[in-house]
Structures are given as structure tokens and as C-alpha cells.
Amino acid sequence: MGDSITKRLVIKASNNYDFANSTVVPVNCNQPVQIESEIGLFSLSVSIKNFDGSIPHKSNSLYNVGDKTYLDGSSYDNLDMANDVLPNLRLNITFKPKYPIKGSDLLFGNDFLVPIKDYIPTTLLATGLKFFTWFINKTVKGDIYCDKPYLYGLALNSFTFMSIKDRSSNHVGEVIDGNEDKAPDLTNFVENLNDNIDNILKIPAKSLERKKFFTNLSNCENFVFNESTNYQIQFDSDYLKLADSKYAVSIPTFGNKTFDLNVSGYANDVLDNFNWTIKQGGYDGVGCGKLGLILNFALLNES
């Protein structure tokens, strides 16, 4: 009997969809990857709870933040990383625009380069789309039935935390209320977007209120991501479970309860990856607008 096959993650970053020439992103390490794009410069780091990565990650990634050895057992000497309790997935990004970009133009979301309708039940797709548009973010737009499915929303109301990195403000990044490790989507952080240069808005200093504030499209149109300003943006999720090469999506049901849907069985030689995408414009689909950061999560078959 042959060795069993495990589907392990490889995570790459680029400014386009050519993943053959993209950069492998170290996971759970304080080693940001720099990606220069048409719209600006991105600095990216990724944290995943219980990360059992593929071979390209063995010498550069940790199982958890705070570990002292890489996945291959070699020593990791960085002592600056605290072993904090983190969500299942965290994307930490610094974005420095090359020119002013209106808040109504900067998008964040997920896309695929192959159809998913042939592999995932239609009822599940429909339920997922309704969940995202009704309960998560009403500005999310997408087409999950086309040849290149996508779901995009406005960056200003999609990210868990946003701030101006170079602007000194009291307590920015601290948790006001909520439980960061148990419910990252309900955690309130202190923010300082109201200090944005030439700002004419009264932007709330709490992350949850900021997300609600920017569901109003006119507020987004009056916000500008300014040239050469460093914006710290963070996305946290416990809805996506990636631990130990077992993949599930948590679907909220009643109260604080969730139902975990095992999605490993839907992966195959065609449907084996998806993207987190930041771009300027392009609500109409994959490849539309000006691409910024493309973060690709792919599965590799390993014994």
C-alpha cells in the first residue's frame, strides 16, 4: 500500500496572477514580504493557527507564533514575537499608495481563476453568497457562478483593524472591548483614521463603528488613501479553519454557535487554490481594475 497523501498549504504573494514567479510568504514569523504594485507598496505577514505547511514553508515558517523552531526543526532566533492567542487566520498588511485612491475604489475580497460551480453544490454557493451579502457586508458584490468567481467588498469596511502607521496616537491597536481570540470579528480596536491628511469626515475611533460608518458609500467616496502614507490594515478570521492541514469553513447558525463545513473533499486537481485580492476598482470581475496585492492559498499533494 502506498503512502497516504496530505493536502498541505503553500502561500504565495504577488502583484499579479502569475503564481509561478510569486514569493512564498513565511507564516507565523516576523518576516514581512514586500510586494510593489501599480497602485502602491505592500508589506505582508501571515499568521495561521497550527500551521502544517507544505515543503516550501518548512525552512521559513513556524507551527504557531512564538515557537522557537521552524517546521523542519531548525532553530528560529527571533525573540520579538510574543506567543499571543491569535485567530485562526490573520493577515497583517502595510499599504503605501503611489497616488491618491478614493475609499470607494479600494477593494478587498476573494477570487478564483477556475469555475467552482462544477465542484461545489449550488445550494451551498447560494447560501454562502447570501450570508456574505446579508450578514457580513452589504457592499460585497460578486459572481460565484461565472468561470472566474469572485466576491469583492470595500477595504474600508472589510478589515478588522485599520490605522495610519506613522501617526502617533494614544492606544492605537489596543482592544477596547470584545474577545480577540474567541470572536475576532466582534473585537473593537482603537484606530486613528480620523487623523488622515485632509480628512473632512468624522471617522469613529473604534474599529466596529468604523466598519459600520463606511458601509455608507458617500463616506467612502470622501475618504482618500493618500500618496506615501503608510496604512496598517489587518484582517482576522475564525470562520476559516486551516489547522493541521484540515480545512473547514465555520458557518454561523443561531446565537454564537457555528456549523463547521469540511471543504477538503471539494478540492481536486483543478479547484486547488483561491486568492485574497486587494485592488483599485474592478467590481466587474477577476482581472478588472488595477491589481495591488494577490495572496494565493494553494494545496499541494504531499506524502
pLDDT tens profile 224-257: 999 989 999 999 988 888 899 888 877 665 556 6
Check pLDDT > 60 for residue 51: yes
Q: What does the alpha-carbon distance between residue 101 and residue 198 come to, in Å, rounded to a whole number?
A: 13
- The confidence score (pLDDT) of residue 240 equals 85
Beta strands in 155-193 (DSSP E): 161-164, 175-177, 188-189
* DSSP-derived secondary structure for 16-50: SS-GGG-EEPPBSSS-PEEEE-SSEEEEEEEEETT
77 burial (CB, 10 Å; 0-12 / 13-18 / 19+) is: exposed
pLDDT tens profile 131-143: 555 555 678 888 8
Q: What is the mean pLDDT of the chain?
A: 87
201 burial (CB, 10 Å; 0-12 / 13-18 / 19+) is: middle
Instruction: Dig out the grid coordinates for 235 from the structure.
Output: 484582517
Long-range Cβ pairs for the range 208-213 (8 Å, 24+): 208/178, 210/156, 210/157, 210/162, 211/156, 211/157, 211/158, 212/157, 213/157
Residue carrying C-alpha cell 476559516: 240
User: For the chain, which residues make up each domain, given as ranges?
Assistant: 6-302
pTM: predicted TM-score of the whole model, two decimal places:
0.91
- The confidence score (pLDDT) of residue 120 equals 75
Q: Which of 150, 163, 151, 68 is nearest to 112 (CA)?
A: 150
Question: How many Cα atoms sit within 13 Å of 235 on the Cβ side?
Answer: 22
Residues 103/282, Cβ–Cβ less than 8 Å: no
pLDDT tens profile 68-102: 999 999 999 876 665 566 889 999 999 999 999 99
The set of residues, in sequence order, having a beta carbon less than 8 Å from that of 126 and lying 6+ positions away, is none
Residue 157: what residue type?
Answer: N
- Percent of the chain clearing pLDDT 70 (strictly above): 84
Q: How confident is the model at residue 1 (pLDDT cuts 50, 70, 90)?
A: very low
* Cβ atoms within 10 Å of 45's Cβ, excluding its own: 18
- The confidence score (pLDDT) of residue 186 equals 67
Q: How confident is the model at residue 264 (pLDDT cuts 50, 70, 90)?
A: confident
